[in-house]
Structure 1
């Protein structure tokens, strides 16, 4: 389990992930070597899975986000196995989630504008296998988006 120092390290990484190891070590009152050992242990235990750049797709010209709730044809026992790999091949699909219940899959899709979305929907989404029903939810605003954990 995590001790207080691990939690402090993780809180600081969440707050300022781009800071250098020497700066982080200084802020935490640790040596760089001790911080490095702790971070390596957190990586080995799967707590820290790496770092990545968060790219603002709106800044790149994508203005539309649609959440598609998909119900699959459950008469086909391979419906999920055929649908998921095909959905992964669509570059504009940013996220795929599966659920238990009436809705089987949720796709988060981005597009430059509505004509671009319509083309993706008609030419790519509707061609996915085993779709029984789709409900589209147009994103209007993000009220809260957080990757941070309460540590």
Structure 2
């Protein structure tokens, strides 16, 4: 699916995403216009979805991360859709995942401290629709957080 050249481009982008186009072109032995065409092809094919800034929410004063495992009351036909639609509106929810099995949804919630988390939990999380059961797991340490692929 990917050529060796495409793999080199992606490896270099993962290692140093702020490289300028000319610098990246030099590293992968291409001209800048040819590299631009390759990048456009990778974006068009969906391999590259764009670039984004990664913000360290801890540096902004958020010291607490809680993972909530939620089981929904699936007796309601649109339980998943309604829950997810409402959960997206909670600014402190930084990730939503759905699963097959006993747990239906996992939310990652950040807060400045425990009183702030309790306020979010009581006023925003517990008011989400169709919750049958909820389990909170407080994060103690992040051991690995790497989105680079072994290309």
- Give the 5 Å matches for 1:1-150: 1-150=1-150
Q: Quote the Cα distance in structure 1 between the aligned partners of 2:75 and 2:38.
A: 50
Which ranges of structure 2 fall in alignment gaps of 5 or more residues?
none
Q: TM-score if structure 2 supplies the norm length?
A: 0.99
CA shift, 1:77, in A, is 1.5
Q: Quote the Cα distance in structure 2 between the aligned partners of 1:81 and 1:110.
A: 23
Q: Quote the Cα distance in structure 1 between the aligned partners of 2:131 and 2:25.
A: 52
Q: Quote the Cα distance in structure 1 between the aligned partners of 2:28 and 2:79.
A: 50
Secondary structure of the corresponding residue to residue 127 of structure 1: coil
Q: Quote the Cα distance in structure 1 between the aligned partners of 2:91 and 2:143.
A: 25
Q: TM-score if structure 1 supplies the norm length?
A: 0.99
> What are the superposed Cα offsets for residues 62-107 of structure 1, whole Å, 9 maximum, x if unpaired?
0000000000001112110110000000000000000000000000
Structure 1 outlier segments of 4+, above 6 Å: none
* Residue-pair matches, total: 151
Q: Quote the Cα distance in structure 2 between the aligned partners of 1:97 and 1:12.
A: 29
CA shift, 1:10, in A, is 0.3
Which ranges of structure 1 fall in alignment gaps of 5 or more residues?
none
